[in-house]
Amino acid sequence: MFRVVNSSTPTPNHAWFFTDCDTGQDIMDTGKDGGKTASPVNGPTCSADGINLDGNDDHVNIANSWEWEGTTSFAVYVKYDSIKSDVTSLYVPHNTAHHFWDFRGCSTGSPVTDSIAGDLVATPMNGPTCSADGLGLDGSDDWADIDDWEWGGTTSFEVYHWLGRSAWSSDGYFDGTIVYLKVWHGVELTESYVASTYLCDSKTFGNKLTSCGVCPDGKSSTYPNTATCTSCAAGKYSTGGNACTVCAAEKYQPSPNSASCITCPAGEYQPDKAISAALHISSIDCFPGKKLDDDVLDFTKHDAADDCESC
């Protein structure tokens, strides 16, 4: 049995946070179960960003025996300095059956069959290419999908507990920074929770893993599209990161990225009632022979053609 968590934050069974770690020192498991030490190997360095691996032989080893059963979720945040995009294989031993997918020499566009148990297929998605090195992923949207898959009993993903090092010599080592690794046993993380761990809230922009800032006036953001702020178009305005709003009747705004709209001056009006931003890029002059004497004193006198009076 497993439980599906909502967007509230579940406590991981195991967690290693590498930000501000001490170079050469072990990193303690701060999850609720604890007990698994992460040890740097071959000299990775620590910084405020995380543990930095050089892509040559640096890696992290999680000590102590580690077995589990049932549904398991992982969350890892890494920053790549360079990417080795070939996926050579995935090996998963269970207590009842083992699975192995070898992508080296696969046929582009064709599924790869589990060569041990033989009951699960890895299907390439969005066009990854095959070569003697493995399945080449473009870093954009390529990936491989494995059939519906449930299991019970003791399970391991490979027999090593390495971070930043592959069990296959051809894959080598990770070149970049590992910020954290979190593991939940018996938990299936929802998409909304995963997103909430790094997406900033509405009205702000950036990334929770670094920082979120309030959008400046004239720009806005709406969750989940909060990586950057969106500029308000001409005819709209925004303050405090709120959604861009079409100017009200009797107002206009010819410039994008604006914090307010301009009330029509004497002799001009704007009848659109905050429906079309395109109509609020400018005001409308009274017809020849008509006048509108009010000069930005009473905005209610600038919202209809009838506000213009005969001279």
The answer to whether residue 64 scores a pLDDT higher than 70 is: no
pLDDT tens string 116-125: 766 678 888 8
Statement to judge: residues 57 and 171 lie in one domain: yes
Q: Is the pLDDT of residue 57 over 80?
A: yes
Residue 163 maps to a domain: yes
Range of 21's domain?
A: 3-96+151-196
Are residues 117 and 186 located together in one domain of the fold? Answer: no
pLDDT above 70 as % of the chain: 81
Q: Which of 101, 102, 99, 106 is nearest to 128 (CA)?
A: 106
pLDDT tens-digit readout, 149-172: 655 555 554 445 778 877 665 557
Mean pLDDT of 97-107: 75
In a domain, 206, yes or no: no
CA 109 to chain centroid, in Å, comes to 27
Kind of pairing, strands 3-4 and 50-54? unpaired
- State the distance between the two ends of the chain, measured CA to CA, in whole angstroms: 82
Higher pLDDT, 114 or 33: 33
Whole-number pLDDT of residue 161 = 72
Dump pLDDT digits (tens) for 65-96. 677 667 788 888 888 887 655 544 454 554 55
Listed residues 112, 144, 176: the one ending a domain: 144
pTM: 0.51
In a domain, 219, yes or no: no
Is 104 contained in some domain? yes
My answer on whether 48 and 107 are in the same domain is: no
What is the number of structural domains in the chain? 3
Q: Classify residue 218: in a domain, yes or no.
A: no
Q: Kindly state the average pLDDT of the residues 256-282.
A: 91
pLDDT of residue 160: 56
Residues 78 and 110 in one domain: no
Question: Has residue 231 been placed in a domain?
Answer: no
Asked if residue 222 belongs to a domain, the reply is: no
Together in a domain, 31 and 155: yes
Predicted confidence band of residue 3 (pLDDT cuts 50, 70, 90) = very low
pLDDT band of residue 243 (cuts 50, 70, 90) is: very high
Q: 6 vs 220, which has greater pLDDT?
A: 220
Question: Across the strands, what pairs with 74?
Answer: 183
Give 175's pLDDT tier (boundaries 50, 70, 90). Answer: confident
Let me know whether 128 and 273 are in one domain: no
> Do residues 159 and 286 both lie within one domain?
no
Q: Is 85 exposed, middle or buried (0-12, 13-18, 19+ CB in 10 A)?
A: middle
Same domain, 113 and 90: no
Instruction: Give a yes or no: residue 230 inside a domain.
Output: no
169 plus 91 within the same structural domain: yes
pLDDT tens, 17-32? 998 799 999 999 999 9
Phi-psi region of 34 (alpha: psi -120 to 50; beta: other; left: phi over 0): left
Residues 179 and 50: their CA atoms lie apart, in Å, by 4
Most confidently modeled of 9-23, 200-214, 220-234? 220-234
Judged by average pLDDT, the poorest of 44-48, 273-277, 301-305 is 301-305
Instruction: Tally Cβ neighbours within 10 Å of residue 195.
Output: 12
- Is the domain of 260 the same as that of 118? no
Q: Do 86 and 168 have their domain in common?
A: yes
Query: What was the pLDDT predicted at 237?
Result: 97
How many Cα atoms occupy the beta-carbon half-sphere of 67 within 13 Å?
Answer: 8
Same domain, 114 and 253: no
